Structures are given as C-alpha cells and as structure tokens.
Amino acid sequence: MQKSSENSKKETNNSNQIRNGMVLELTIEQINADGFGIAREGDFTVQVADTAPGDRVIARVEHVSHHSGTAWARPLQAPQRGDKWKRHFCKESQQAGGRCGGCPLGHITRDVYKQVKLDTVADAFVAEELQLIPATLHCGVPKHYRNKSNFVVNRNKKGLVQLGSFAPRSHRFAPMQGCHINAHAITRLQREIQTLFEDNQVPVHPAPSGIRYVTIKAFSTGALLVDVVVNDEEAQNTEAVAQALLDIPDVHGVSVTCNPEKGNQLRHTSSHLHMGKNALCDRIADIQLRMKATTFFQLNNEIAAVMYQRAAEWCASAKTVWDLYCGIGGLGLTVAKSSGAVLYGCDSVDDAIDLAAKNAKTNQIDARFTSINLNTSFPSNWPAADVILVNPPRRGIDAHTMEQLGSKTASQLIYMSCNPTSFARDAQQLAQQGYILRDVEAFDMLPNTSHVELLGRFERGTK
C-alpha cells in the first residue's frame, strides 16, 4: 500500500495536467509583485500564497488557468522555510488565509520586499530599453500610514455590521478589523461606526435605501471627515445618521453621495455637504492643503512630502511653472513656494481646481488654476514655462498632451507617477519630444502593497 501511495504521488507531481484540488510538493524559486511565491510544475507556473524564495511546501491547487499555463495554490504544510519568509502581520490578509488583498507583501523580509519593488521598476524600464534604473527605494513608516480608507458596509449572518472591503476579483466581503495600514484614528472611527449602525439598526446595502460604502479621511491634526454612500437620494434616516456621526469626537464633517448603480464603483456622482465642515487643511511638507473626504490625494503624507520636496530641489531656480494634472495643487504649490515661481495649473476635475485656488491663497502663492480636460484641450494663453510638472493618472500622459509637450521649450519636466509601466513608456515618448531622462527615484508610497511611485527629472535636449 505504501509503495502504491508513493507511486500515485509521483505520478501526480510529474503530470503535465494540473487540476483543482491536486496536492503538489513545490520548491519556491522567486516571488512576484503580488506576493505569490513562484514554483514550476511541468509546463505550469504555480503561484503559491504565503511563500518566499527557498521555501519547500506541500500545497493544494485552488485555481487553474489552462489558457496561460498558470495555477494558484495554498500551502498545507511547509517542511522547509527559507530565510526570506516571515509570518504575515495580519490574519485578515489573503496571504495569511483571509480575504483582504490589501497587504500582499507582508510576509517577506525587508531586503526581499525592497528588491521585489525595485524589480517591478526594472522590468518596466528594461522593456522600454531605458538605461537609467533606480537602485534605491525610499521608504517611510511601514504601518498606519494610510490617511483615507474606503469601506464596504456589510451586515453578516449574525446581524452584525462590519466595515471592510471586497476580496480581490470578487464581491465577497473581506473583514478589515484592526487594519495595520490605516491611521489609528480611522480604525477607531471604523469601530464606532459599526457600533452606531448596529445600535440604531441603520439599513445597509442591499436593503432599500441602505448605506453601501463609508469613506473616512484622517488629518494629521486628528480631525476626521466622513462620506456616506447611499443607494438613493431619498435614503431614510440619512440626516439622523449624519448627525450621529458628527456627534462622534474628532468628526468635523459628514457628506453624502448617491450611487444607485450596480458594480463595485464607489461613486458615480459628486458628494454634497450634509452637516459640519466641507473640507479641512492638512500640512504636507511646507504647505497647507485643503481637501474633502472624497478628494483624490496621495494616501501617505510622509512619502508625498518627501517627493514634493525632492521636486522642489530639482526646480530651485524656476521662475514660471506649469502643473499639468494638478489635482488640488500639492506638487506645484510646493515647487512654487520653494522657488518663488509663478504657478499655472490645470485639471479636468472642477472641484479639485476650486480647492487648488483656495490652497494657493492659503499659502500666499502666486498661482492661476484652470479647469482643462487634457485629453482634448491644452493651455493656450499661459506664458512659457521654465519647468513643467506632470502627475497623470495610472494610464500615464495622454496622447494629446504628449504631442503638445513636443512644442514647449521648458528646460525641465518633472514627472510624478504611480505606475512604472506607463512612466517607462512615456519616458521613451518624451525622448522623442526632446526630453531626456536625467534622474529617477523610487518611493514606497503604499507600504506592503505592490505599488511603487516614481519621480523623474527630464531635461530639454534635441529630438
């Protein structure tokens, strides 16, 4: 019987056909940016959760993609752990057997962690044949850095209200109790909101007029803003809920957003102020920035400040600065305040432009902000710039803007990016427009995740 069992195991492991439920003995060779250890089994690449290079594990296959020759597995036993693995700090993590996909790199040692992120950048740069590749990852505090969190509201089978997230690629609810990356003030308010909704039997999605999502924005002063997303504009008890939230210590304002649409998109329309203050100021580097609960902004104040200040160092002699995709003005205002430059900024979001103008006034900076959709339009009456700043969405600089940049004579272009792949692609296109990449640095804006932020300095050369 023993011999038959061994033969069966050998046959299973050597099979070129991997199936769901199959148990494999695997040696982890490397790790990817999503935190999965990589092993080879016949013609398949097997991604194994909660593993690191040097581990030898017995794992059960949970999903197979025959189109890509990839399988996903979870370890049942670990006969051998290498020196690059550590126990994940959060039991809710998908890597540790939970459902939350928020911290996929929380189970590897610090040296491997940094290398994984730098390799992500290197792979993107090599694919575009870029020669200048960052060798250092600028890091800050690894936990409790996140200044805003969007929570899914769920009532479980026991009737308890929970604020959490959706598991990756699904609508399954993932608990986020005691989250290790949210600011402490967010976690405290999360608990209080759960209790408030339970005690008052507040309807939650999918109940009619139920609350779908809650956004909590934390400021360095300890102040908090809340946005509540409801199914319909006439949701019952919204006013009572808003007042109860406003009565919680440190909550300064509550806004409401209506989202009746299906799917996971958080908001389809702008929020409106319901009670309390609409926006509050936070200090980032040397400037005060006014923002709302729903304002798009960097989630890590510490790293954002470091990046802003590095850009200001690169632009110390600037006299006229353009800030494209300016948002609420953080990057441009920092550069302008440091150099004394006149600032011109644009963004497609009217609310962001309104906040940017107020932020310029608060910081006593000479700035003009305009609402422009750079996909189709471009500033036509601004004076020539010494420096152009770009901080586009993840997709990178749009084609229309890239074409326009070719006709500008700014001596420098500073590019802040949240996506190494689009940055590398755009760097090649900028070179064709006459901008040569001279400096680039990598920053750990979202610790424990796969994301890497880049700041690049381009000098004007020749096409």
Pair 215, 316 in one domain: no
Task: Provide the pairing of β-strand 342-347 with 320-324.
Answer: parallel
305/311 Cα distance (integer angstroms): 10
Report the DSSP beta bridge partners of residue 25.
Answer: 58
The one-character DSSP state at 94 is G
Nearest to 59 by CA among 46, 69, 70, 68: 46
Q: Is 95 helix (H, G, I), strand (E, B) or coil?
A: helix
Angle between helix axes 110-127 and 420-432 (nearest 10 degrees) is: 30
Pair 304, 447 in one domain: yes
258/109 Cα distance (integer angstroms): 43
pLDDT value of residue 416: 98
Is 418 annotated in the active site?
A: yes
pLDDT value of residue 263: 66
Q: Is 311 helix (H, G, I), strand (E, B) or coil?
A: helix
In a domain, 7, yes or no: yes
Pair 204, 56 in one domain: no
Yes or no: say if 29 and 38 are a contact pair by the CB < 8 Å rule: yes
User: Where would I find the H helices in 23-97?
Assistant: none
Report the DSSP beta bridge partners of residue 94.
Answer: none
- For residue 40, the domain's CATH number is 2.40.50.140
Enclosing domain of residue 30: 2-86
Query: What are the helix and strand counts (H, E) for the chain?
Result: 9, 23
In a domain, 375, yes or no: yes
pLDDT, average across residues 430-436 = 95
pTM of the model: 0.93
In a domain, 141, yes or no: no
Pair 274, 306 in one domain: no
Query: Can you tell me which residue has the tokens 């936990």?
Result: 143
Pair 333, 278 in one domain: no
Yes or no: say if 463 and 403 are a contact pair by the CB < 8 Å rule: no
User: In total, how many domains does the chain have?
Assistant: 3
In a domain, 288, yes or no: no
pLDDT value of residue 14: 41
Across all residues in the chain, what is the average pLDDT?
92
pLDDT, average across residues 456-462 = 90
pLDDT value of residue 239: 87
For the beta sheet containing 44-48, the strands, ordered from the edge strand earlier in sequence to the opposite edge, are: 23-27, 56-65, 70-80, 44-48, 37-41, 30-31
In a domain, 420, yes or no: yes
174/166 Cα distance (integer angstroms): 5
63/73 Cα distance (integer angstroms): 7
Pair 274, 316 in one domain: no
Yes or no: say if 229 and 259 are a contact pair by the CB < 8 Å rule: yes
Taking 70 as the threshold, does the pLDDT of residue 412 lie above it?
A: yes
Yes or no: say if 379 and 322 are a contact pair by the CB < 8 Å rule: yes
- Based on its alpha-carbon atoms, the radius of gyration of the chain, rounded to whole angstroms, reads 25
Catalytic residue among 100, 315, 326, 418: 418
Q: Where are the beta strands (DSSP E) in 325-421?
A: 342-347, 367-371, 387-390, 412-417
Instruction: Summarize pLDDT for 172-194 with one digit per residue, the tens.
Output: 999 999 999 999 999 999 999 99
Instruction: Summarize pLDDT for 289-331 with one digit per residue, the tens.
Output: 999 999 999 999 999 999 999 999 999 999 999 999 999 999 9
pLDDT value of residue 360: 98
Task: Provide the pairing of β-strand 367-371 with 342-347.
Answer: parallel
